[in-house]
Amino acid sequence: MVATNQTSNPHDGRVVLVTGGSQGIGRGIAETFAREGASVVVHGLTADYVDETVELIRAAGGTAVGTFGPIDEEQTSATAVALALETFGRLDHLVTAAGIQRYGDIVSTSVATWDEVFAVNVRGVFLAAHATLPEIRRNAGTVTIISSVQATATQASVAAYTASKGALNALCRAMAVDEAEYGVRVNSIAPGSVDTPMLRHSAAMWSDGTPAGVEQTIADWGTSHALGRVAQPSEIGTAASFLASDAASFVTGAELRVDGGLLARIATTLPTKH
């Protein structure tokens, strides 16, 4: 019995575009949708990772095609929509997972870096939604924006990143209100730390850079979460799949935290008893 042919799958016959879908959280989301019966358009910055992700999905019995290009350029999303329509004849869902993180406070962050972060993290989401919503409206589909817990609470020295994620949560609310008349639901997901290439790059920066040092740093970061570990991309994929499914039919304008209890716990600890 082939899993992708099961009629119980929540996304059978539906088509999803995942921006930033070639690595990390985006790949986990693309694989989850494909496993649950959707046809997936995988977007990424470069062809190599896109091709790799598409092959992984197909090898697992799913359906996927790929497209690549800078998400902050208008033509990239227009091309992705055209590919979806040419290949599958429709587009039901958009999940925006493309994003970058840069370090620095307001003084140390250059204007160029600020603009780079907002170009990818905010302009990229706007352009993807701008291109896809005419088709998504036809099918009363959904938009899901991958934000971050740092839209609500922030670590030090990520001013541009935090500001960009706060902007995405505000954009989510605005889109949810505007799109409701078309039956389109718009939500955001706020992950905590997730085991992705981006997280591992950061761990290498803040450790000795060795494989053991990276693993230890990620494990240490995991202890900040009540569940005691970082998330896997597939766990964010499950949340995104839920928000796009009929099971979430009355959920819109929501900010869903998938953070292992990171924001539920304050930093204060009780002293050790003697």
In the chain, beta strands by DSSP E: 15-19, 39-44, 63-68, 93-96, 142-146, 185-191, 255-258
Question: What are the boundaries of each domain within the chain?
Answer: 10-193+233-258, 195-230
Which amino acid type is present at position 235?
A: E
What's the confidence (pLDDT) of residue 270? 67
Tell me, what's the pLDDT at 267?
76
Q: How many whole angstroms separate alpha carbon 269 and alpha carbon 246?
A: 41
161 is catalytic: yes
Residue 43's SS3 state is strand
CA 154, chain centre distance (Å): 18
10-193+233-258 to CATH, choices 3.30.470.20, 3.40.50.150, 3.40.50.720, 3.40.50.170: 3.40.50.720
Provide the pLDDT for residue 3.
32
DSSP per-residue codes, 67-100? EES-TTSHHHHHHHHHHHHHHHS---EEEE----
Question: How high is the pLDDT of residue 274?
Answer: 58
- Give the per-residue pLDDT at 7: 45
Q: Taking CA 182 as the corner, what is the angle to CA 178 and CA 185, rounded to the nearest 5 degrees? A: 70
- pLDDT tens, 14-46? 999 999 999 999 999 999 999 999 999 999 999
What is the structure's pLDDT at 247?
98
Mean pLDDT by 10 residues, the chain (274 residues): 49 95 98 98 98 98 98 98 98 98 97 98 98 98 97 95 98 98 98 91 87 90 93 97 98 98 83 66
Whole-number pLDDT of residue 4: 35
